[in-house]
Structure 1
């Protein structure tokens, strides 16, 4: 997003996107492929639980396990700041502008208090629902997949209007059908997993 500040914005954004895709594909995809190759269907949704065997044996060195936890913490902090910022803005604006103008320190304390309360509530909710991963899968199937893979193609069709019957339009329709089907199957599978989890787990279950 910062690439759009300087011109040419379109070229800078494309370079940024390509860099992001290269980093993601080169780091996450090999882990996913090798992890499924090693563990198959018994692979757990929580990567940390895949590190230990049923007997408690650890498959990786202790220093690597500690580093993994640190990197997960850093990622959670970054993603929470990115994705929660709109929520913070909506929640804080009525408080921030409800009275006379606040001083800088009053604004800092207000933001610190509201964001700490939000974080505590989100953490409590995650701890309360041991099948939180299944809920995330459902949210991803309903929101992430259509938003990333379906909606942009619809926008492209509306804006650029590729030639009817041409290869480009057919290819777009084909990918639309594929990702729509993936989203639907993801929703069905997530709901099924939630039903199975609800029968198996209870609130604040120690997994």
Structure 2
């Protein structure tokens, strides 16, 4: 028996391994990734990295501009609270039925059956793929912003920078075997996040103080306004997208539920402060003229803006690997447990599979580089179902006999509300993509 981090482990690394968690023997499924290896704080940093990814540079324009001060502030606070509630529900089901459910689809399959396993798997990977498309677009935008700081010839365009970003993402993906191996890179990720958030905040604050009064009126009218507001609502919940919570919780040491709740409280308190700061000051400084990439609005020393954009690029590379890790896990044989760190078979497998995935992601990113539209569509077709509808319904089914009538009613209301919002948001997002596709050609230089 091996005692590691407070966990009693019986058996090998494959199927049938047992851990003793909170005085209960819990079965751990077979996986190539490490289980029960990380502290709650590391999991909290993984979650916080997602919240403060380079996507935060787009929320001032994508959320605040269409919603305004009242709608944006109230909506963001409500999105924070309902996201914490939904993620807490999923976290509490991690050991449902005496087995650790280390994948979202495993949990859904245990509660509903085989068909739900497949449907959840599909939704989750659509969700993660579209998130990663956004990260590649962000990385490409960051590199393009650096280029335009020094040259104005427009020889290199956004698709070129997306290709460069894809190469960097592919090399990083090949180098990092699994999520637990991200330790030092999480520190780098938080550092890079603080760099572009602090620089963006400081330069926006300077611009806002020096600028004349801004226009905060909502830009759209009539039916366009309705669709834009619905799309912005989808982007609100996208900012807290954790459609891979069981995969992150799988890395946490026992007691896994208690430690995961600590990580979630860290994410939704300390973790959201930088995001809130950059969103609100960005909108305050530029009003309705705020763009979907805030660093394109700011003015300041070229060297400082260069540093901020490079930090956004590097953070996007790291974040993509975090959100792609469930994709990699299903394609990786149990090679990571070998004593040799870089066996030829292992390395070649990573190059082909991970490199192919990143190349596919980059192609879609360059083909349709409409970042705001992708955020809306991702929120509609996968974030709402996974993070809100499914989370509430799974908890209702799993804990139904133990819940009060009032609690059950609240869960059903959540399911109905987010179901209707998901349909409306999907229609709004598809409409925006069609509109933008008429305005911009494929492989557009946005």
Q: TM-score range by the shorter chain?
A: 0.7 to 0.9
Q: What's the counterpart of residue 320 of structure 2? A: 80
Q: Does 1:163 align with 2:410?
A: no
Where in structure 1 are there 5+ consecutive unaligned residues?
52-57, 97-102
Partners in 2 of 1:75 and 1:113 — Cα distance?
24
Displacement, 1:202? 0.6
Displacement, 1:63? 4.0
Superposed CA offset, 1:155-182 (max 9, x none): 2221222222x2x333333433443343
Partners in 2 of 1:145 and 1:31 — Cα distance?
25
Partners in 2 of 1:181 and 1:38 — Cα distance?
34
- Considering fraction of residues, name the structure with more helix: 1
Change (3 A) 1:123 1:105: same
Change (3 A) 1:89 1:205: same
Instruction: Pick from 35, 58, 61 the counterpart of residue 282 of structure 2.
Output: 35
Displacement, 1:90? 4.1
Partners in 2 of 1:61 and 1:132 — Cα distance?
27
SS of the equivalent of 2:374 reads helix
Where in structure 2 are there 5+ consecutive unaligned residues?
1-35, 41-248, 336-341
Partners in 2 of 1:39 and 1:182 — Cα distance?
29
Displacement, 1:196? 0.6
Query: Is 1:130–1:202's contact at 8 Å kept on the other side of the alignment?
Result: no
Give the paired residue count: 190
Query: Is 2:367–2:444's contact at 8 Å kept on the other side of the alignment?
Result: yes
Instruction: Pick from 125, 129, 146 the counterpart of residue 385 of structure 2.
Output: 146
Change (3 A) 1:178 1:59: farther
Displacement, 1:199? 0.8
SS of the equivalent of 1:193 reads helix
Query: Is 1:130–1:201's contact at 8 Å kept on the other side of the alignment?
Result: no
What RMSD, in angstroms, separates the aligned Cα atoms of the two structures?
A: 2.8
Q: What's the counterpart of residue 46 of structure 1? A: 293
Query: Is 2:367–2:442's contact at 8 Å kept on the other side of the alignment?
Result: yes
Change (3 A) 1:37 1:189: farther
Q: Does 1:127 align with 2:359?
A: no
Q: What's the counterpart of residue 445 of structure 2? A: 206
SS of the equivalent of 2:291 reads coil
Q: What's the counterpart of residue 189 of structure 1? A: 428
Displacement, 1:40? 4.2
Structure with the bigger RCO (C-alpha within 8 Å, sep 6+) is 2
